[in-house]
Amino acid sequence: MAALGRQVFDWHRLTPLTWALLTRPTRQLGEQKRTTAFLLCKLMTVSNGGGLEESSFVEAPKCAQKVEHRTGLTQCLLEKQRTVSQENVVSSLLDMGFSDVHVNELLSIQPGTHPQQMLDIISELVLLGLNPEPVCVALKKSPQLLKLPVMQMKKRSSYLRKLGLGEGKLKRVLYCCPEIFTMRQRDIEVIVGVLKEKCLFTIKQVTEILHRCPYVLREDPGELEYKFQYAYFRMGIKHVDIVKTDFLQYSMTKTKQRHVFLERLGRYQTPDKNGQTQVPNPLLKDILRVSEAEFLARTAVSSAEEFEVFKKLLAREEEESEGCMADEKEEEEEEDGEEEQEL
């Protein structure tokens, strides 16, 4: 009984010690946090030229206030710098010939754009020969141009000058195909290569095509080559006339429908080797540049009902022709496979 009493007494005596051990980490954690803040303050003092002398923990809040003050001061300086920079940009745009209305429009296109970035992009467009109004129209239509890296813009501008699209010729191109600055240069080079090497246009004619028919930049290279071949071999149109009439800007469907319709009516013939025909062919502008109603009334001299029936028949003929070509291709592949097996 006496032994049991001593054990109980010993347990009560150990209880305060156990709680002291449990609470000690909590106090150490709080002291550790305060120590970290204190060291940060010391480091900031050293970085500002002060010494690493001892300070009381009471100075930590003062240090935090100093940090907040510096942060606010930095933000104020940045805002002031942006304001000054924006004022310089406005002054530069006015010097370039932009009106106050133009400047307000430009500043509202991409509010987050850095003023200097905006000024650099606009300067490149002006150097290419664009006037203030076309610049505003292009940037409103394609605001992503303002996000382009300036170096990329400079390189693309240099490349467009080599293609002959400077000195004001870029206005129509940029209006019709603003992605000329964002699309891959390789894609542009492929289209230019088709026009030069496959279609045999001169460098001057290529420049004229890109200026008059900028939509060709969006064309599939194979379809662009086929469109030229159809005009040159099937319709007998020469290079000069293809350029002058903007032939390449019209869809292949529209061209085929109107051309073949006139052929079957006996109103169009493919010229012979000497460029001669038995009937006078209508001008291209009277075939492609006019509305369908005017084409039927003046050029084809036919009814809309007859033309609609013809378009359905032509579509069916093309489907059957494509099916036959696919079958022939499969047969050729099978024959090639059999020959390889025999070998």
Given CA atoms 97, 100, 102, 105 in this order, what sign does their dihedral have?
positive
Q: Kindly report each contact of residues 151-159 with a partner whose C-beta sits within 8 Å and lies 24 or more positions away, as own/partner.
A: 153/120, 153/121, 153/124, 153/181, 154/124, 156/180, 156/181, 156/185, 157/124, 157/127, 157/128, 159/185, 159/188
Query: Residue 329 has what pLDDT?
Result: 66
- The torsion region of residue 45 among left (phi > 0), alpha (psi -120 to 50) and beta comes to alpha
Residue 180, Cβ neighbours under 10 Å: how many?
Answer: 22
Query: Residue 56 has what pLDDT?
Result: 43
Query: Residue 268 has what pLDDT?
Result: 97
Q: Which residues of the chain have pLDDT under 70?
A: 1-84, 325-343
Burial class (CB in 10 A: 0-12, 13-18, 19+), 241: middle
Query: Residue 313 has what pLDDT?
Result: 96
pTM above 0.75, yes or no: no
Is 240 in contact with 278 (CB distance < 8 Å)? no
- The torsion region of residue 301 among left (phi > 0), alpha (psi -120 to 50) and beta comes to left
Is 217 in contact with 183 (CB distance < 8 Å)? yes
Q: Kindly report each contact of residues 73-81 with a partner whose C-beta sits within 8 Å and lies 24 or more positions away, as own/partner.
A: none
Query: Residue 328 has what pLDDT?
Result: 66
